Structure 1
Amino acid sequence: MKVPQRLRPLVEEGLVDDVLSQLMSGKEATVFVVRCGDEVRCAKVYKDAKQRSFKNAVSYTEGRKVKNSRQARAMEKGTRYGKQMQEELWQNAEVDALFKLAAAGVRVPKPYICTDGVLLMELVTDAEGDVAPRLNDVELSPERARECHQFLLNQVVRMLCAGVIHGDLSEYNILMAEDGPVIIDLPQAIDAAANNEAQVHLQRDVQNLATYFGQFAPELLTTQYGKEIWQHYVAGTLTTETPLTGQARIDNTPVDMAGLMQEIEATRREQEARLRRMQGISEPGRDN
């Protein structure tokens, strides 16, 4: 096929020898099958912000670190340079996550290089050597559904132990390779320790798995793996070997209402005192 414009620099630099076909076009990127020497790989061409339809990006990018304060200020002001930095941060997030997760033993495509908004990585294939189908396109027996669900829960735990949450995990972002499920599409990967919405994203990822596999194994629909995993993570007891039951612990500790009200009142008085100091007003009972 004709070489797409965004891939021409890679062809000219010898990183890609031939573009074989377009694999898919999604909300944040278009993916092509390419030949690199004797290997067939895929090239993920990221769309710019105007074309990208991924919603609520701020919820995912919170906590991502930038190189210096100048870049941070530019991003806050929304300048042209700041927008460029935001794009690079968005694209590099997937590359960083792929390398980190691969090192942690998570089943993700092997990344090779990311340049000019194009990520070269492993092409995931099935038993026949064809492009692996998405999980959504595969029929599963109840037993196979339970096996895949358990395997993917383990992958979610491995990711969290590495400090990463997928953030958009579903049957559409999982490929069924010859040797089992492979997790893909990580530009929205979340820093578990730095993002205030990390728990929400983790539990949604896990619930998406339960909802999908629950079509084949209905008992999975009532499990609480997301809450259970997060409880272990917060308690510092989560490892890749932590046994999971699918049931979250219930906190029956009674709320100390008197103590809570005292804290609220103390906070209110502190805030009032701060406002008076800012306005140059003396506190009641004191002379100016």
Structure 2
Amino acid sequence: MKVPNGLQVLIDDGVIDQVLRPLKSGKEAAVYVVSSGDDVRCAKVYKDLAQRSFQQRTVYQEGRKLRGSRETRAASKATRYGRKQQEVAWKNAEVDALYQLRDAGVRVPEPYGFFHGVLVMELVVDGEGYSAPRMGEVELSAVQARQFHGFLIGEIVKMLCVGLIHGDLSAYNILLGEDGPVLIDFPQVVSAAGNNASRRMLLRDVNAITASLGRFAPELLDTWYGEEMWALYESGALLPDTVLTGRFVHDQRSIDLDGVREAIEDARQLAIIRQQGREAADED
């Protein structure tokens, strides 16, 4: 196939040998299957800012630090140089998160390096060696749904313990690899301590996973893992191996339980809309 823009320089530098096929294209980046020696990997080519449609980026960028005072001043003034530095920081956020989460034992694609703005990483495959499907594309049994939910709650806990929140987690950025779920797509990763919206984003992530898997195991919809883990995190009692119960006593004076349930349903509807958009993009 014709070598896409951004990948020829990696071939010239010997980072990869060949582009085999496109894997997926989204609002943030296009991913290709590539070969490197005897290994098959994937390369994520980030789209230019002008081509991207991701909304509310400012919310996600709160708490992120740029390299120096010059970059910070330029970003605050929204100069051309400042926007470029924010774009660099946006891409680097995913790379840094992958290495940090891998070291924390979170199941993410193994990163192999960031070259000329392209992220080269593990190609996650299923049990037959094919590119792993997204969790939102697979019908599950109730047993599988409960197993995956328990595993993913544990991964979210590990992330929170190193101060990170995915920020846009759904059944469509979780791959079902040979050994189980793998979390992907981290350019919008949020600092738990440095972002004022971190609690809301954590609950949204947990609610989205719960709503998706609750279609197959409805009893999951009566759990409160997000609230439980956030309370433990705020008190300094959350550890990577903390065993959660899914139970949480709410302050009835300050929380709208019906509103929380509506948030779960909103997350489910958002996942459906996203999938419809992806299917429409694939048809184009």
**1:5 Cα deviation from its structure 2 partner:** 1.9
Match of 1:29 in 2: 29
Distance 1:6 1:141, change over 3 A: same
What is the RMSD computed on CA atoms of the aligned residues?
A: 1.3
Residue correspondence of structure 1 range 54-73 to structure 2 within 5 A: 54-73=54-73
**1:248 Cα deviation from its structure 2 partner:** 1.8
Percent of aligned positions with the same letter in both sequences?
56
Match of 1:199 in 2: 199
3-state SS of the aligned residue for 1:147? helix
Counterpart Cα distance in 1 of 2:66 and 2:52: 21
3-state SS of the aligned residue for 1:114? strand
Counterpart Cα distance in 2 of 1:36 and 1:221: 44
Q: Which amino acid aligns with 2:135?
A: L
Residue correspondence of structure 1 range 235-254 to structure 2 within 5 A: 235-251=235-251
Counterpart Cα distance in 2 of 1:35 and 1:7: 12
Q: Deviations over 1:3-62 (max 9, x none)?
A: 112111111111110000000001100000000111000000001211111110011110
Q: TM-score, normalised by structure 1?
A: 0.86
**1:112 Cα deviation from its structure 2 partner:** 1.0
Counterpart Cα distance in 2 of 1:87 and 1:50: 11
Q: TM-score, normalised by structure 2?
A: 0.87
Q: Which amino acid aligns with 2:79?
A: T
Asked if structure 1 preserves the Cα contact closer than 8 Å seen for 2:19 and 2:32, the reply is yes
3-state SS of the aligned residue for 1:43? strand
Counterpart Cα distance in 1 of 2:248 and 2:55: 30
Match of 2:82 in 1: 82
Counterpart Cα distance in 1 of 2:252 and 2:171: 35
Match of 1:41 in 2: 41
**1:222 Cα deviation from its structure 2 partner:** 2.1
Asked if structure 1 preserves the Cα contact closer than 8 Å seen for 2:63 and 2:195, the reply is yes
Match of 1:137 in 2: 137
Distance 1:253 1:27, change over 3 A: closer
Counterpart Cα distance in 1 of 2:52 and 2:81: 19
**1:251 Cα deviation from its structure 2 partner:** 4.1
Unaligned ranges ≥5, structure 2 = 255-284
3-state SS of the aligned residue for 1:241? coil
Asked if structure 1 preserves the Cα contact closer than 8 Å seen for 2:97 and 2:186, the reply is yes
Match of 1:128 in 2: 128
Q: Which amino acid aligns with 2:134?
A: R
Match of 2:215 in 1: 215
Counterpart Cα distance in 2 of 1:36 and 1:183: 23
Residue correspondence of structure 1 range 94-243 to structure 2 within 5 A: 94-243=94-243
Counterpart Cα distance in 2 of 1:96 and 1:227: 27
Asked if structure 1 preserves the Cα contact closer than 8 Å seen for 2:66 and 2:86, the reply is no
3-state SS of the aligned residue for 1:63? coil
Counterpart Cα distance in 1 of 2:233 and 2:85: 31
**1:252 Cα deviation from its structure 2 partner:** 7.4
Structure with the bigger RCO (C-alpha within 8 Å, sep 6+) is 2
Match of 2:16 in 1: 16
Match of 1:2 in 2: 2
Which has the larger Rg?
Answer: 1
Question: Which stretch shows the higher mean deviation, 108-117 or 155-164?
Answer: 108-117
Counterpart Cα distance in 1 of 2:38 and 2:249: 52
Q: Which amino acid aligns with 2:241?
A: E
**1:82 Cα deviation from its structure 2 partner:** 0.7
Unaligned ranges ≥5, structure 1 = 255-288
3-state SS of the aligned residue for 1:50? helix
3-state SS of the aligned residue for 1:106? coil
Distance 1:71 1:171, change over 3 A: same
Q: Which amino acid aligns with 2:225?
A: Y
